[in-house]
Structure 1
Amino acid sequence: MSGSETEVAAGQRYRVGYALQPNEMESFIQPSLLDYAKQRAIDLIQIDFSTPLQKQGPFHCIIHKIRTQRWKNHLHKFVVAHPNTRIIDPPKFIYRLEDRYKRVPQTVIKDLENLGNDTVRTADQAFIVRPHNLDHIEEWNFTFPIIAKPYEADGGAGSHEMCLVFDYDGIRTLSLPRVLEEFVNHGGVVFKIYVAGRRVNCVKCKTLGDIPEEGLGPLKGVLPLSSVLNSGEDQDDAVEKAEMPPQSLVDELSNSVREVTRLNVFKVNLMRDVKEPTRYVLIDIKYFPAYAKMPSYEPFITDFLFDVVTTEPEEPEYDKYTTLNIIPSP
């Protein structure tokens, strides 16, 4: 019997504490989610940072996206005192995603060579950390344009300051460190795979349009990504007509990412290469994404939390922060 099918004992309720940044809390903790969770015997409780965490329990589960060392210490002390509380997710696994250099491990897709007629690969990347890395930049033989991303991906405003770079002079103007990533023509559509434990939902959204192969024309230097995002009716039409990736591919990829990262709540961004319609490019993995942007996110999140609080961890492994708490596969 799965966690979602488990019957709740009469009067049994589950306390789930949440620790989120104000902007994330505002978007995620909607009245609709609180009400839906309450109907499933789950009480979502805001954690008060002015009060020691150990005085705020008990909690059956804690979900969080706070990156300060102080919070990490509070969580550590709480878990030592309350080892049965499920933590979504252990800090040491979350922090691995904040460094883009380690963010998309090749091991995520090494076993996904062929899924039916479809393939998945990661976007090619290069890392420029120090100014001397620019001395012989032309020898890197980039195919322009490329996307430049901040090195850190901690969810702050700076982590979203991305741009398109059209030549080597443009690369030299970038603040460092930076991640440089290949640009793949993809029909102006990105597939966002939302994952919460064993629950997966793939949605399609518009993004950058394609760049004609015949040339970049007068485009030189750098352009902020926000200034080239498409918002016209043609782009909306392209999204509507775009075929979703096969569900088998979505499931296989999300399971692989989950096993490698040991995380429960994340989003994978995937694009389809227009040159090879059966080839997909994995461009990003984000921890605890904006679930509220996903249709019907309330049952998606609530059923996940119900799984967490009613299902035993799969072969838990204790470390200095908490058990791994990986939700078992169905």
Structure 2
Amino acid sequence: MRLEGETVMVTSRVPVVGDWGRSIKKESVQEVLLRREDDWESASDREQRMLQMCPSSKTSSNHLVGAQQKLVVGYALTSKKVKSFLQPKLEGLARKKGITFVAIDRNKPLDEQGPFDVVLHKLSGKDWRQILEDYRKEHPEVIVLDPPDAIQHLYNRQSMLQDVAALDLCDHEGKVGVPKQLVITGDPASIPNAVSKAGLKLPLVAKPLMVDGTAKSHALSLAYDQFSLSELDPPLVLQEFVNHGGVLFKVYIVGDTIKVVRRFSLPDVDVSESSGYGVIPFPRVSSAAASADDADLDPCIAELPPVSLLNKLATELRQRLGLRLFNLDIIREHGTKDNYYVIDINYFPGYGKMPGYEFIFTDFLLSLTRGKQHKLPGAAICSVDSINC
């Protein structure tokens, strides 16, 4: 059966619908493991005339240019993130909406740059976190996306999923939990015994404990038998592998907007046939290149999680995490209709891979200045394109 699916955006406004379908051949786990760019003008004639009439707008975000409010967004991103996120289609649309992106120079005091209405960042390091925290205290009028201490909560896989585990969403068209997992920080030789004591079932997904943006932090593997566990390299998190039909759902959250896309993942594992496989590393199976567009899939596997469930989940996590920009990697347990697991949460993910992200993100930035999302009521501050199982 060919299923006409959709890339769905859950929002208080209008859903975004696309189509997908590609024939997919059956592959074993081993086989899986082993713009046109829009030419935007820099400014319209009218905008140029208004700038001449209101030159002070360059130094104050409260001045209006025509009918648009000028918004200055300072960004501190890695070169890789700049390339993937600040695409011409985003910058062009932003200019048309009165939004200017300005690179932050890390070699100069942040206080001497700007003024900024919003600071958008994804850099690591204690020094940078302290700079941002000091800046937030001195400039409470500037919106920092997101608070550095809150982000730290997602950089440790031991704490990453704690807020999901604490939720009770059984009354929202499905159950959401996290796979059973175990943190290992000691001698690799002790891992088999620790796994037995914890009662974890093989196979297990092995993930580095810390998510620091390096290639090593995304070096995931699948361990099939007890003997191979001692080959792993702590500190790490061992997470039970849940069969999910080879498809996961990436749930992008931008403020109060949610967008869901399908990605291919690892195929289901037949434990009776996986003896002797040992430990097998696996690549970024959920990247944009692994899109489930144009795929003929069983409707029970391809069906998106219920809108009400995703709305509730996103709302709860925005409050608990104190974040506005993150994504969830969700799987549905194969053979069930409504049993879901969150397997990863990522701060400021690869939004450039999300269809229509330029419209969603610019609308979000403008909403900040209208006071709709300046604060997260009741939010608890708890502290890159991800690889998923």
TM range (shorter): 0.7 to 0.9
Secondary structure of the residue aligned to 2:308 is helix
Change (3 A) 1:317 1:33: same
Q: Is the 8 A contact 1:108 1:256 kept in 2?
A: no
Deviations 1:158-204 (A, max 9, x none): 11100000011221110111100011111111101100111111111
Partner of 1:269: 329
Q: Indicate the SS of the match to 2:296.
A: helix
Question: What SS does the aligned partner of 1:87 have?
Answer: strand
Q: Corresponding residue for 1:328?
A: none
Q: Which residue type is aligned with residue 238 of structure 1?
A: L
Task: Select which of 249, 252, 256 maps to 1:194.
Answer: 252
Question: Structure 1 residue 157 and structure 2 residue 220: aligned?
Answer: no
Aligned 8 A contact 2:254 2:364 in 1: yes
Superposed CA RMSD in Å reads 3.0
3-state SS in 1 of match to 2:172: coil
Amino acid at match of 1:279: N
Q: Deviations over 1:244-290 (max 9, x none)?
A: 11111111111111111011100001101112121111111111000
Q: Does 1:20 align with 2:77?
A: yes
Q: Aligned match of 2:278 in 221, 242, 250? A: 221
- When residues 170 and 232 of structure 1 are mapped into structure 2, their CA distance, relative to the original with a 3 A threshold, is farther
Q: Which sections of structure 2, spanning at least 5 residues, go unmatched?
A: 1-11, 14-62, 384-389
> Take 1:207 and 1:318, find their aligned partners in 2: how far apart are those partners?
32
Letter in 1 for 2:244: H
Deviation at 1:141, TM superposition (A): 3.4
Number of aligned residues: 314
Deviates more, 1:106-115 or 1:94-103: 106-115
Pairing 1:125–2:181 present: yes
Correspondences of 1:243-258 after superposition (within 5 Å): 243-258=303-318
Q: Give TM-score, length-normalised by structure 2.
A: 0.74
- Find the counterpart in structure 2 of residue 238 from structure 1: 297
Show CA shifts across 1:13-66 (max 9, x none).
010111111111110111110011111111111111222211111000101011
Correspondence for 1:51: 108
Return 5+ residue gaps in structure 1 as ranges.
325-330
Q: Sequence identity of aligned pairs in percent?
A: 33
Deviation larger for 127-136 or 279-288: 127-136
TM-score, reference length from structure 1: 0.86
What is the letter of the counterpart of residue 151 of structure 2?
I
Q: Which residue of 1 aligns with 2:232?
A: 174
Is 1:95 aligned with 2:155? no
Q: How big is the shift at 1:122?
A: 1.0
Matched, 1:147 2:147: no
**Aligned-pair CA distance for 1:80:** 3.2
Q: For the residues of structure 1 that align with 2:308 and 2:216, how far apart are their CA atoms?
A: 35
Q: 1:184 to 1:141 in 2, by over 3 A?
A: same
